[in-house]
Amino acid sequence: MITIPVYLLTGYLGSGKTTLLNHLLSQSELKSKRVALIINEFGSLGVDGQLIDHVNDGIFELNRGSLFCACIQTDFEKTLRRIASEVKPELVIAEATGIAHTSDLYKWLDIGADEHRFEVRANVCMVDFMNFTKILPNLKSASAQVTAADAILINKVDLAPCQEHVDRLSEILSDMNPRAAQWRTVEGQLKWSLIESLEHRACQTPPAISPPEELASCSVPGRFVDRDRFYDAIASVQGSLLRLKGVVDFGQGLVLVESVFDSLSEKTAPDTVKRFGLTVIGWNTTAEHLTSVFSKAFKPVPPSAEGIVSITFGS
């Protein structure tokens, strides 16, 4: 039985996996090794062709129209068999954007192929500083990938307005996965030796069917907002606000307000906007609390919960 180590690289599209992968492949430790890459076609990963030609034994694309479904397992297993029988690489890097839940990947890798056995050595999840909190309520796999990772790479930290925001994101990621190492990078600049030194611990949790319990999100419809009360609301949820977005009128016409954590920006809204109100995402709070706090900013204040549409996650 020959064991082929597998390094899983997960993360939402746009988090910087391509850049990271190209950077890793250019490092001498990997250049000297026979590497096979499994990539997911849907991820449109643009790996540098020259690097592949030079140092690798091939890219295996999982070319499947219907993603996330059981049928991709077939392709995945066929790919493993091909890699085991034809390539016999020293290691495999599998880019796992949206292929499936990570626990499925573990299961599929466990099956092995012929006299070869695949063994996950590390699972690294890449998180894009700018977009992670935005995606979290909408994409199940975003939280599932973080939860299963041995290390979380917070990328694009140079785009953060301040160090404190990166620390806030880091705390949230620790809440979601306390056992994972965390690294901060700019443009995926990471040494392969760091990944290689990771100790893999399979996370045997069942596939997530909802966003993390700590996450709360709500929408409060309405057009006219009192600026002071709005800022009061922001201040009162300061520690738990992840994102806020909406189109409202503070008295001088429609504006688009947006916040990343508690840093707020405001600009004139396009004329075409027909829906007014606020969407708020919070951490370690409840949808009811957020709804109640931000409802008070509207003029007139809606009576109790009437007229309020709230969307709740995991509360």
Options 34, 64, 82, 200; binder of another protein; rule CB under 8 A: 64
Cβ nearer to another protein, comparing 177 with 217: 217
Cβ nearer to another protein, comparing 123 with 217: 217
By CB under 8 A, is residue 73 in contact with another protein?
A: yes
At which residue do the structure tokens 């190492």 appear? 181
In contact, 98 and 42? CB cutoff 8 Å: yes
Region from 2-10, 39-47, 172-180, 226-234 binding another protein, contact rule CB under 8 A: 39-47
Cβ nearer to another protein, comparing 73 with 286: 73
Q: Strands 181-184 and 215-221, how do they pair?
A: unpaired
In contact, 37 and 58? CB cutoff 8 Å: yes
Taking the complex as a whole, how short is the minimal distance between the CB of residue 97 and another protein, in angstroms? 8
Quick check: bond before 300 cis, omega within 30?
A: yes
Options 1, 28, 53, 66; binder of another protein; rule CB under 8 A: 66
Region from 11-19, 165-173, 188-196, 220-228 binding another protein, contact rule CB under 8 A: 11-19
Q: Within 10 Å of residue 84's Cβ, how many Cβ atoms? A: 21
Taking the complex as a whole, how short is the minimal distance between the CB of residue 299 and another protein, in angstroms? 23
Cβ nearer to another protein, comparing 101 with 165: 101
Buried residues in 244-259 as b, exposed as e (16+ CB within 10 A):
bbbbbebeeeebebeb
Cβ nearer to another protein, comparing 16 with 211: 211
Residues 130-149 touching another protein, rule: CB under 8 A, are: 131, 134-135, 137-142
By CB under 8 A, is residue 14 in contact with another protein?
A: yes
Can you tell me whether residue 102 is helix, strand or coil? helix
Taking the complex as a whole, how short is the minimal distance between the CB of residue 90 and another protein, in angstroms? 27
Nearest to 174 by CA among 97, 283, 313: 283
By CB under 8 A, is residue 12 in contact with another protein?
A: yes
Residues 209-248, one symbol each (x = binds another protein by CB under 8 A, - = not), give xxx-------------------------------x-x---
Cβ nearer to another protein, comparing 199 with 274: 274
Buried residues in 113-145 as b, exposed as e (16+ CB within 10 A):
beebebebbbbbbbbbbebbbbbbbeebbbbbb
By CB under 8 A, is residue 275 in contact with another protein?
A: yes
By CB under 8 A, is residue 69 in contact with another protein?
A: yes
CA gap 168, 151 in Å, rounded: 17
**In sequence order, which residues have a C-beta less than 8 Å from that of residue 107 and are 6 or more positions away?**
none
CA gap 36, 120 in Å, rounded: 14
CA gap 40, 167 in Å, rounded: 31
In contact, 222 and 302? CB cutoff 8 Å: yes
Cβ nearer to another protein, comparing 106 with 183: 106
By CB under 8 A, is residue 279 in contact with another protein?
A: yes
Site residues, another protein (CB under 8 A): 12-14, 41-42, 44, 61, 63-71, 73-75, 77-78, 98, 100-101, 131, 134-135, 137-142, 207-211, 243, 245, 273-275, 279, 281, 311-313
